[in-house]
Amino acid sequence: MRRKTRAEPITPSAADTIFNAEEVCRSEIEGAIDLLGRFGNYPAAHLLSAAAHSNLRAIAKKEGVALKHDLSALVRAYAPKRESAVMNVFLAPYNGLKHIGSLSSEVFFKLEYVEITLHLAAVDYQQMFAKMTPKMAVYGAWVIHRFPELIGSSKFPAMNIFDGADDPRPEKRLSPLRTALVDVADDPDATRLMMNALAEAQARSSPAR
């Protein structure tokens, strides 16, 4: 029997596009924001945000960085004996969506978990790469209005556009996110004002040195 030989590695050519780690994570997160906010596509948004979260954890481990919003670490700190059970619930849609095996396959979903996973991926991206994109800022502002008791923070400055984000109906709570992505994230002037307001808010909330 002929021994299997390892395939020769493919060497990228000058015409190929190469994405670095930061670009991959950013593309996954921004893609998830668009899929969720513009199209209400929870399954696809969860796949991308979970992939970004996994990539960021791997990068952080390699670089020796302790992510502040690592989901496993947060659950472990709060309820160590429940970490496995809780993580299984969060990962069930991700694993199920990757391995649909038959026409009768079903995936358990909690829409709120998708929204939270995307938020955690976005804030960990900001910590890892010290960058925030307009879409991430818009999504962060929506999350503050969506989960005010979870974030423990005041509403994003001068952005009442997100009123209604805490509506229990997905089509209603995503409506202000869709509007903000079009009116703010896609508008350079509105983006500049938003990013300036965010910087001022963060400066006011930072402890004096």
Domain ranges of the chain: 21-131, 132-202
Using a pLDDT cut of 70, give the percent of the chain over it: 86
In degrees and rounded to multiples of 5, residue 16 shows phi and psi of -80, 150
Non-local CB neighbours of 4 within 8 Å, separated by 6+ positions: none
Using a pLDDT cut of 90, give the percent of the chain over it: 38
More confident residue, 69 or 94: 69
Whether the predicted pLDDT of 123 surpasses 80: yes
Could you say which DSSP state residue 80 is in? G
Q: Tell me what pLDDT residue 68 has.
A: 85
Q: Tell me what pLDDT residue 204 has.
A: 66
Q: Tell me what pLDDT residue 164 has.
A: 92
Confidence of residue 2 (pLDDT cuts 50, 70, 90): low
Report the residue count for the chain: 209
DSSP secondary structure string for all residues of 96-155: HHHT--STT------HHHHHHHHHHHHHHHHHHHS---HHHHHHHHHHHHH-HHHHT-PP
Whether the predicted pLDDT of 169 surpasses 90: yes
For residue 182, what are the CA distances in angstroms to 135, 163, 178?
10, 16, 6
Q: Tell me what pLDDT residue 209 has.
A: 42
More confident residue, 51 or 12: 51
The mean of the pLDDT values for the chain is 83
More confident residue, 77 or 43: 43
By the 8 A CB rule, do 140 and 124 touch?
no
The mean pLDDT value for 11-26 works out to: 87
The model carries a pTM of 0.80
